[in-house]
Structure 1
Amino acid sequence: MKDKVKLDRIDLKILKILQANAKITNAQLAQEIGLSPAPTLERVKKLETSGVIKSYHAKLNTQKVGLGVSTFVMVTLKGHNKDNIEIFTESISEIDEIIECHHVTGSGDFILKIIAEDIAAYQKLMLERVTNIEVVDNMQSLVILSTFKDSKVMPIP
């Protein structure tokens, strides 16, 4: 891994704490890692500028914001070539309900995570937007019935 950043014990502790609570104050973080606030802030800024910390997000309760259906969709393209991949990825980047897209190995080419208000909204999205992407050959939908683990915390080696 040529882009790997060298992290020491304190950096790893900072990353673990920030993944659990990105809203922690610098003073609280400094206290938890055993440094004063100035060097703590310096370390966090270094982790941000090096790209180790990509961004900060609020994790929403999907039910409370009216998003009741989540699915995984395995997509197979008509041909697995650079042009088709670009057409597909550009097309799906314009669909807000597709919240994840992964290029995968196996029986399909991509796996998407899609979130919608309800089954009717999901069906409309699939029929009017996703199936109309010209390079899509086949799709298989898997409706998520319940989720038992949804961690965004990375296990840093």
Structure 2
Amino acid sequence: MRNKLDQVDFNILNILAENAQTPYTDVAKKLIVSPGTVHMRMRKMREMGLITGATLSLNYAKMGWKMTIFLGIFLSEISMFKKVMEQLNDIEEVVKIHHVTGKYDIFIKMHARDSFHYKQVYQDDILGIAGIRGIESFISIEENLERHIQFVEVEE
């Protein structure tokens, strides 16, 4: 059981995926287990590398960052991948970077306060990265869903 998940583990993950700030005592009450059990299970899942941290879900628009943009990036040479990723990682407006298959080599998500801010980041920071051959931009009009998968135990 040390490196195997069971339904209690999945139920803990489901509750905390909904709200990572739920106290372990509340999780324990919902699952009818002891708070110590929740604490031990969480420690086990961290040690397994299953849980790597906890984050806040932020409403960027309410904080004045009104644009969410996705960029499909084409590399001039695939060998430039690591260097391009490192430089994209240094741009604070970039919040997700994916190495993908298909049409693009890299797909990123970024936020900007407005179109002027986006233009500044795009032209000054992103286009200046050596190894980028081309970019396609997609501006998000509205996000309608953000969630985690609901996990259930799978029998082998």
TM-score, normalisation: structure 1: 0.90
Structure 2: where are the runs of 5+ without partners? none
**Deviation at residue 80 of structure 1 after TM alignment:** 1.4
- 2:137 corresponds in structure 1 to 141
Report percent identity of matched pairs: 25
Deviating above 6 A after TM superposition, structure 1's stretches of 4 or more consecutive aligned residues are none
1:49 pairs with one of 27, 43, 47: 47
Partner residue, 2:25: 27
Gaps of 5+ in 1: none
Question: Relative CO higher for 1 or 2, CA cutoff 8 Å, sep ≥ 6?
Answer: 2
Match of residue 62, structure 1, among 49, 60, 63: 60
Per-residue CA distance 1:22-55 (angstroms, 9 max, x = gap): 1111211111111112222111121122211111
| Residues 1-150 of structure 1: pairs in structure 2 closer than 5 A | 5-81=3-79, 84-150=80-146
Asked if the contact 2:77/2:131 (under 8 Å) is kept, the reply is yes
TM-score, with normalisation over the residues of structure 2?
0.91
SS in 1 for 2:69: strand
The alignment covers a number of residue pairs equal to 150
Shift of 1:155: 3.8
Q: RMSD over aligned Cα, in angstroms?
A: 1.2
1:141 is paired with a residue whose SS is: strand
Amino acid of the residue matched to residue 57 of structure 1?
A: T
Q: In structure 2, what residue type is equivalent to 1:156?
A: F
State the Cα deviation string for residues 124-145 of structure 1 (Å, max 9, x = none): 1000000000100000001111
